[in-house]
Chains A and B, each alone.
Chain A
Amino acid sequence: MMEAQYRAPGSVDEAVALMAGAGGKGRVLAGGTDLLVQMRAGMVAPGLIVDVKRIAEMTAISQIAGAWRVGAAVTGAEIHDHAGLKKAWPGVVEAINLIGSKQVQGRASAGGNLCNASPAADSVPALVAAGAIATVQGPNGRREVPVEQIPAGPGKTSLKPGEIVVSFTLPARPAGSGDAYLRLIPRTEMDIAVVGCGVNLTMKDGTCTAARVALGAVAPTVLLVEGAAKALVGSKLDDKAIEAAAAACRAACKPIDDKRGTIVYRTKIAGVLLKRAVAIAAERARSN
Chain B
Amino acid sequence: MSEQRRYKWVGTRQNRPDGADKVTGRARFGADFNLPGELVGKVLRSPHAHAVIKSIDVSKAAALPGVKAVVTGADFPEQPDQLLPAGEMQVNLRDVTRNVMAKEKALYEGHAIAAVAATTAAVAQEALSLIKVDYEVLPHVIDVQEAMKDGAPILHPHMRTDGVKPAPEKASNIAKRLEFNKGDAAAGFGKADIVIEREFTTQPVHQGYIEPHAALASAAEDGQVQLWTTTQGHFQVRGFCCRLLNLETSQLRVTPSEIGGGFGGKTVVYLEPVAIRLSQKAGKPVKMVMSREEVFRASGPTSGGWVKVKMGAKKDGTIVAADITVALQAGAFAGSPVGPSCMCSMACYDVENIHVVGYDVVSNRPKVAAYRAPGAPISAWAVESVVDMVAQELNIDPIDLRLKNAAKQGTKTHYGPTFGVIGMVETLEAAKASPHYKSKVKPGYARGVAAGFWFNVGADSSAAAHVGEDGSVTIISGNPDIGGSRASLALMAAEELGIDYKKVRPIVADTASIGFNFVTGGSRVTFATGLAVVNATRDMIGQLKQRAAKLWEVDVDAVVWEDGEARPSSTNVGKFEPLSLAKLAASASRTGGPINGHAQLNAQGAGPGFGVHIVDLKVDPDTGICTIDRYTAVQDVGTAIHPSYVEGQLQGGAAQGIGWALNEEYIYDAKGRLLNPGFLDYRMPVASDLPMIETVLVEVPNPAHPYGVRGVGEVPIIPPMAAIGSAIARATGVRMVDLPISPPRLSAALDAATPRMAAE
Contacts and interface: CB of A to CB of B under 8 A. Distances in A.
Task: Verify whether A and B have any Cβ pair under 8 Å.
Answer: yes
Interface in A85-116: none
B468 interface: no
Contacts of B748: 262, 264-265
Given A261-B744, A262-B744, A265-B748, A187 B681 contact: no
A143 B490 CA distance: 69
Interface string A260-276: 11101100110010000
Interface string B605-632: 0000000000000000011110000000
A260 B742 CA distance: 10
A192 B680 contact: yes
B594 interface: no
A287 interface: no
A21 interface: no
A5 interface: no
B688 A188 contact: yes
A187 B742 contact: no
**Size band of the interface chain B makes with A:** 20 to 34
Interface in B665-683: 667, 675-676, 679-681, 683
Nearest to A268: B747
Nearest to B688: A188
Contact of A188 (B622, B679, B689, B743): B689
A187 B747 contact: no
B686 A272 contact: no
B663 interface: yes
B471 interface: no
B667 A259 contact: yes
Nearest to A246: B760
Contacts of A243: 760
B680 A190 contact: yes
Q: Which 5 A-B pairs have the closest CB atoms?
A: A265-B744, A188-B688, A272-B622, A259-B667, A259-B676
A191 B689 contact: no
In terms of DSSP, what is the predominant structure of the interface of chain B? loop
A186 B663 contact: yes
A188 B659 CA distance: 13
Interface in B688-702: 688-689
Given A264-B748, A265-B748, A269-B623, A187 B680 contact: no
Contact of B681 (A184, A260, A265): A260
Given A184-B623, A272-B622, A191 B744 contact: no
Contacts of A184: 623, 625, 743
24 contacts: A184-B623, A184-B625, A186-B663, A186-B683, A187-B663, A187-B686, A189-B688, A189-B689, A190-B679, A259-B681, A260-B681, A262-B744, A262-B748, A264-B748, A265-B624, A265-B743, A265-B744, A265-B748, A268-B622, A268-B747, A268-B751, A269-B623, A272-B622, A272-B623
Given A191-B680, A259-B667, A265-B747, A186 B688 contact: no
A261 B662 CA distance: 14
A265 B589 CA distance: 77
A191 B678 CA distance: 12
Contacts of B498: none
A26 B676 CA distance: 30
B17 interface: no
Given A259-B675, A265-B743, A265-B748, A187 B622 contact: no
